Structure 1
């Protein structure tokens, strides 16, 4: 079954009977039937084409998977992240929850979408192509719930994709993270894999009053893989959603964040970095909606692009009329390591309130030759000098993440990426 044919999608081709045929799935099928995959001229997708995916005969993942390869990838995640020392972990293989590989964390109630296939009623299944596709195809995923005033510490959420003999597969997990009033949780989501596959996860994130959720994403998919990921987050009064997306893998990836600050003094961070080489294409897009007074949003995204890689940043801060005393900041910076690398940046502000402090900007450049000369003049080899400048460029953005343990995990991942690239 072709999961994402660009035109001619029929609801009957995807919707089963019983629990699979829901209003949400039918709405998603209708929008995909009518619009298909985004084409040139769709503003939100003007820099990222899904044409390469349109004719791929993606199939349902097989029931049997190479256990040795899964074990290798899981061990790699724990080594690179530094979180293999007994931290709780939830593991999915080809989009399916794997209880045998999971080590359920203390303080977190864990469920699965397969056992309770309910979609959040505050998310429009027709709102964007990633959500529509996931709503139509989702079969499993995990739900994480932290009760009132519980500090659940740090945990791993690992998604492993394995395709055999390059036979293309697709999986579409539906995840939910819910923090009750005053709860705290730090999650490192790591996505890795081998072979030809499409990973299309959607997260439903609900942060209640005074709750703090840290959500760091380490996207290290296989070199033939593609990822279309969407996060929908809503943050209540005095709550914090502190997120960071580190893009290292996949030949084609897009992470789209829709974050709404719905209570007074709510705060959201949507920071990230993309480190791309070869012909990789990475897209970070966001819409941050200020829907209550006195809220704060911060977004800084840095890109390091080499070879023929292409990075995309589209960020929008939307301030509703009620959202007086909004404080919103957005910045995108790109470091191009070759003449053939490309960055497309489109920061936006849409403001309907009059008492706000909002700013945005974008910069693009190469390594500063004066800084390089300074280091070389002190006896530092060229490769080491370049490495020092690139790592310094990335250091500030990674250290925007407030959770020190997850910050260290991302530092280790950046170091591993750099060492592998220069091996």
Structure 2
């Protein structure tokens, strides 16, 4: 068992995790974290998302062994047996480690697509910044496994599933998977990422880092469904480097965990590149959901788009931080951001901070934010036709959020999100009816 103190000032031994040159990277990252600790509210990027939930706990590495029956039950809750998703190639991690018995064989992958475990061929890459990002530093110091996937030139890889499951374990645990995806020129892939856990277990902390490298003309659609256990902490970081004429499209749907943050750093490094960083959050109780992005335009004639929708009930809180940085060389930039929120409770809160930093003089950039409640006239119309109040609210909320999921181009991935969203709304209606 390897323990870590969330302050970063007392990391347990990690030298045995991997050998060779990577020890230098791990020790350097641990040193960075020891100097800074985890970010507090005085750090601008974390002003609205407080990590005090991590304080007071010493997180341990999860046990290697797990109950396979329990794992299959949790897996079936997100990938129903007999569904189209069950037929897709999948790599499954349980408590941060690849589970071969739950994953597809390499024979199921299309020709030109390969994957391996991070533990067997570790590669930290050069995209991340442990010295600037304490959570990436923590991941670099403690990563024990993850997925490394590559797609060869011109290959249309279709859909691949990356599933992370959190299962019951003794004590408070954490896991820090490291994933790398590389697309060669003109390659394409839809990566469907699912994070799930079983409710009732003790607090756990999931801190994944994903790096994406897109060569000239490549296309990656990254769709993420986050439905961790209700008391989980999920803090994810994504780095995407996008070459000329390449496109990175991402969408994250946040439904679970007590505290969640999805942070994307996208760099448009070649002319005519594009990035879309979209998402939706459905939050209740005291959940906190944070979608943060930093999009850097480093080349001319590039496009960035970001649309995020939030639905908040009870005392939940959503955070949207979107920064677009346009460097001097990035003429003809086209950037757009929009954050919209439905507040269904007087105690719910949305904190929005769109930001533009522009050094080029021939650009078209805009951002906006809207906050409101459900339309009373629409509710009255539905109620007047015999629809119960809770169901009428569900219909309007679902319509609001489905406009966001419609941005997902891959039909299979969109079906997964819409199904998870419908289930979450139905569960919410059931709870309302029980409380009434």
Global fold match (TM > 0.5):
yes
Name which of 160, 165, 186 aligns with 1:160: 165
How far the C-alpha of 1:122 sits from its partner, in A, is 3.0
Q: Which residue of 2 aligns with 1:102?
A: 103
Given that 1:29 and 1:136 are in contact with CA atoms closer than 8 Å, whether structure 2 keeps it comes out as yes
Q: Which residue of 2 aligns with 1:210?
A: 217
How far the C-alpha of 1:397 sits from its partner, in A, is 0.9
Name which of 190, 194, 213 aligns with 1:190: 194
Larger deviation, residues 298-307 vs 72-81: 72-81
5+ residue gaps, structure 1: none
Q: Which residue of 2 aligns with 1:179?
A: 183
How far the C-alpha of 1:7 sits from its partner, in A, is 5.3
Counterpart CA distance in 2 for 1:113 and 1:313 is: 31
SS in 2 for 1:203: strand
SS in 1 for 2:102: coil
Query: What CA deviation, in whole Å up to 9, does each residue of 1:237-256 have, x standing for no partner?
Result: 11111100000111111111
Q: 1:98-177 alignment to 2 at 5 Å?
A: 98-103=99-104, 104=106, 105-107=109-111, 108-165=113-170, 167-177=171-181
Indicate how the Cα distance of structure 1 residues 81 and 145 shifts in structure 2: closer, same or farther if over 3 A, else same: farther
Q: 1:223-262 alignment to 2 at 5 Å?
A: 223-262=230-269
SS in 2 for 1:422: helix
Given that 2:127 and 2:239 are in contact with CA atoms closer than 8 Å, whether structure 1 keeps it comes out as no
Counterpart CA distance in 1 for 2:190 and 2:8 is: 40
SS in 2 for 1:33: helix
How far the C-alpha of 1:85 sits from its partner, in A, is 4.0
Q: Which residue of 1 aligns with 2:90?
A: 89
SS in 1 for 2:403: helix
Given that 1:2 and 1:56 are in contact with CA atoms closer than 8 Å, whether structure 2 keeps it comes out as no
Q: Which residue of 2 aligns with 1:35?
A: 36
Query: What CA deviation, in whole Å up to 9, does each residue of 1:351-398 have, x standing for no partner?
Result: 000111100011111111122122223333222221111111112111
How far the C-alpha of 1:28 sits from its partner, in A, is 1.4
Q: 1:301-316 alignment to 2 at 5 Å?
A: 301-316=308-323
Indicate how the Cα distance of structure 1 residues 402 and 84 shifts in structure 2: closer, same or farther if over 3 A, else same: closer
Q: Aligned pair 1:277/2:281, yes or no?
A: no
Given that 1:82 and 1:409 are in contact with CA atoms closer than 8 Å, whether structure 2 keeps it comes out as no
How far the C-alpha of 1:36 sits from its partner, in A, is 0.5
TM-score by length of 2: 0.93
How far the C-alpha of 1:18 sits from its partner, in A, is 3.6
SS in 1 for 2:197: strand
What is the number of equivalent residue pairs in this alignment? Answer: 421
Given that 2:222 and 2:249 are in contact with CA atoms closer than 8 Å, whether structure 1 keeps it comes out as yes
Root-mean-square deviation (Å): 1.7
SS in 2 for 1:19: coil
How far the C-alpha of 1:25 sits from its partner, in A, is 1.6
Given that 1:80 and 1:409 are in contact with CA atoms closer than 8 Å, whether structure 2 keeps it comes out as no
Counterpart CA distance in 2 for 1:300 and 1:45 is: 21
Q: Aligned pair 1:353/2:360, yes or no?
A: yes
Query: What CA deviation, in whole Å up to 9, does each residue of 1:221-263 have, x standing for no partner?
Result: 1112111100000111111111000001111111110000101
TM-score by length of 1: 0.96
Q: 1:338-349 alignment to 2 at 5 Å?
A: 338-349=345-356
Q: Aligned pair 1:362/2:369, yes or no?
A: yes
Given that 1:81 and 1:413 are in contact with CA atoms closer than 8 Å, whether structure 2 keeps it comes out as no
Counterpart CA distance in 2 for 1:15 and 1:239 is: 38
Larger deviation, residues 13-22 vs 92-101: 13-22
Counterpart CA distance in 2 for 1:299 and 1:27 is: 34
